[in-house]
Structures are given as C-alpha cells and as structure tokens.
Amino acid sequence: MLNFTYHNPVKIVFGRGSIAQLPRLVPADAKILMIYGGGSIKRNGVYDQVIAALKRNPPAEFGGIEPNPRYETCLKAVEQVKAEGFDFLLGVGGGSSLDAAKFIAAASVYKGKNPWDMMTNWARVPADSLPVGCVLTLPATGSEMNGGAVVSREETKEKLFFNSPHSFPRFSILDPETTYTLPSRQTANGVVDAFIHTTEQYLTFPADAPLQDRQAEAILLTLIEEGPKVLAEPRNYDARANLMWCATQALNGLIGSGVPQDWATHAMGHELTALYGIDHAQSLAVVLPGMLRHQRERKRAKLLQYAERVWQLRDGNEEARVARAIERTEEFFRSLGVGTRLSDYDIPAEAVELVASRLEKRRMKLGEHQDLTENDVKEILTLRK
C-alpha cells in the first residue's frame, strides 16, 4: 500500500425530506447566495423546498450555471458576491452548480488578477474560501463530497480542474427523491460517470491494497445492478438512493487512498467535451474502452481481477477474459443508452490529432505510470472512431 493522507470533512445529510434540515446546517446569520443552473430545480420542486426551508433567512440567487459551468459565468457571480458581500454560497443542482459554487467561493477570496490561474497552477488556489453548502439533485460527479471543481473557459475552449482542501463543502444534502424526474440521459450519464471515476482509481496496477480494491468493486457491482433498475423504475427510492450513494463514494477520496490512480481517460474526455460539447460521461464512455484495450498489458493484473470479480468471467485464457471484460464494460454503457464511439456523436476524425496535441501542450503526465505519449493518445482515440 502507498502512503496517503485521507481527510474529508464534508457532512452528508442523506435521505427523504432532508432539505428541511437546511436551517440547522447554514449559519443563522449567513448572507447566502444560492447558485443554480437552468431552472430544472424550479420544475422539480427543489427550489421551493430550499426557499421554504430558508424562509427565515432567504437567499439571494444566481441562476444560469451551464451544464459545463463556464468561467465567464462564474466571474459574474464573483462580482455579485464581492459587490453585495455574500458570505455563504449554496450550490443547488448537479455537479455543475456545485462545481461553480466551489469555484466562485475560491475565486471570491482570490487575490490575483485572473482566477483562471488557479486552474493552471494549483499552488495559486488560496488557502481559504467562502463556505459552501450543497443540495445535490444529480448523482454523478461526486462534487458533493470532494474539494474539486471542473470549469470550462469559452474563450479558449479549455475545460480544466482544480482541487483544494479548502474547497470541501461544509455540508451536502442528498435527497434521492429529488432525482426522480431526471431525464434518463442524465441518469445514465451519472451511472457512467461514477463507474469511470471508480475505474480510474482501480484499473491500474496492484499495490497490495485489497480493501480499497474491494471497496471499488463494491461500487462497480452496485452500479451494474442499480443503474438499469433506476432507468426502468425512475421512482424506485432505494435504487435512486443506492445510485446516489455510489456516485458520492466513487469520488470522495476513499477508494483512491493508498493506491495508484490513472485519470488519463478524464484528461482525454475533458478535451472532447471542450472541443465538441459532448456530455462529460459520454466523453468518458468513448475513451475508456480504448484506454483499457491499448493499456491491457500494463493493466493486465487488475483487468483480470476486474473480469473475475465484477463480471464473473472465469472461463477462457487470460487474454480472452480481459477482452471480454472490456467488451462487457462497453456493452454496459451502451445498454444504458450512452454511446461509446466518436461516431455516435458525429465527432470528426481530426479529433484524434487535436486532442493529442492539446494534451501534449498541457504537459500533463498521463496514466498511472505518468508516461502516456502523444502517440499513445492518438492510438487510443483511433480505437474509438
């Protein structure tokens, strides 16, 4: 096992009716700015629940956060925070609203001129932040229980990530009933997103960390069971609850403690989303099968374990079991309605070169061995045409 530090101070309040606990969670004298997206929370009743819960201390509002939250939009919120002196941000919605709230909270105390510098150089993220609380309505990103935020910059078509121990939400409210009315595309995306957050921390190389392996497999097995159930029965409370808790556990730091991590699929996926606007989960579903096929020799030991424990594949030689496990993974994503090929999204062939050269320019060290080359990226994406 590798050395690690694990610290996750987020208070999770989980279950039916838990939005009503907001007054106990937000400081009584807070001047609250509520950050949300495109209005789905007004249609599904979540907005009303939040306003009702906070009737003694009504929040001001900043709506219009995009599905991939834009830097330019966040900057407008930062201006509002500074101009009106808000001291508590409440993110309400999916990962985008939560990420935006976390970014705005950090940018509001950022001393430099250009808060985008926090994304390109994490050393510039301030050792402080406005406090953030969350009401999650879309299980997927894990943002409700980590200190990360992904923000996209329209001007440069960049989608980047920052992570800071100062950006953990103070609390996150997870009421599975708020997810009943999600479009099935968003539900399916959430399943895929949580699944691939898990594989990024699991499908690497063995580090003699059997508990973390089994905790990762626990999430994968549960997503495989509960994902189809949720799509078939959108108002099945327990299935919704299980999906929601899986998505949180997939990216709260626990399963990644003491083990190698990959994240190259995410790096490539972010470029695809930034360039072509496909959903985050769609981009991951496209890249992962290529990544696993291309890296199957280096990931062999874990892929064999994955084949056996997650897909119950015990017959055939090792190569066949690995190949079948990757096929089953892709079939699972497709069964949820999530396309797994660049062609499913009409992405042009030039994407292969473009993504590879953009990543090369970022000088990111990709993969669990931090050594994927520009050519590797091209080969991986070529497998996904």
Q: How far apart are CA 300 and CA 182, in angstroms?
A: 37
Q: How far apart are CA 382 and CA 353, in angstroms?
A: 9
Q: Shortest CA distance to 135 belongs to which of 185, 108, 181, 170?
A: 170
Which residues, other chains included, contact 69 with Cβ-Cβ below 8 Å and sequence gap of 6+? 96, 97, 99, 100, 103, 150, 151, 152
Piece of 107-115, 252-260, 285-293, 328-336 that binds a copy of itself (CB under 8 A): 252-260
Q: Shortest CA distance to 256 belongs to which of 216, 295, 220?
A: 216
Name the CA dihedral angle for 321, 289, 147, 142, rounded to a multiple of 10 degrees: -80
18 belongs to the binding site for a copy of itself (CB under 8 A): yes
12 belongs to the binding site for a copy of itself (CB under 8 A): yes
Q: Which is nearer to a copy of itself, 175 or 271 (CB)?
A: 175
67: DSSP letter: S
228 belongs to the binding site for a copy of itself (CB under 8 A): no
Binds a copy of itself by CB under 8 A, chosen from 163, 181, 222, 261? 222
Q: Shortest CA distance to 333 belongs to which of 263, 282, 277, 273?
A: 282
Binds a copy of itself by CB under 8 A, chosen from 17, 123, 317, 346? 17
Q: Which is nearer to a copy of itself, 204 or 282 (CB)?
A: 204
What tokens were used for 165? 């121990």
- Residues that bind a copy of itself (rule: CB under 8 A) add up to a total of 42
261 belongs to the binding site for a copy of itself (CB under 8 A): no
Burial 13-41 (b: 16+ CB within 10 A, else e): beeeebbeebeebbeeebebbbbbbeebb
At closest approach, how far in Å is the CB of 207 from a copy of itself? 8
Binds a copy of itself by CB under 8 A, chosen from 112, 210, 337, 348? 210
42 belongs to the binding site for a copy of itself (CB under 8 A): no
107 belongs to the binding site for a copy of itself (CB under 8 A): no
Piece of 235-243, 320-328, 333-341, 364-372 that binds a copy of itself (CB under 8 A): 235-243
Binds a copy of itself by CB under 8 A, chosen from 131, 228, 258, 277? 258
Q: Which is nearer to a copy of itself, 169 or 290 (CB)?
A: 169
Q: Which is nearer to a copy of itself, 20 or 364 (CB)?
A: 20
Element (DSSP H or E) covering residue 214: helix 210-232
At closest approach, how far in Å is the CB of 350 from a copy of itself? 41
Element (DSSP H or E) covering residue 174: strand 171-174
241 belongs to the binding site for a copy of itself (CB under 8 A): yes
10 belongs to the binding site for a copy of itself (CB under 8 A): yes
Where does this chain bind a copy of itself (CB under 8 A)? 1-18, 208-212, 214-215, 217-219, 221-222, 225-226, 237-238, 241-242, 245-246, 249, 254, 257-258
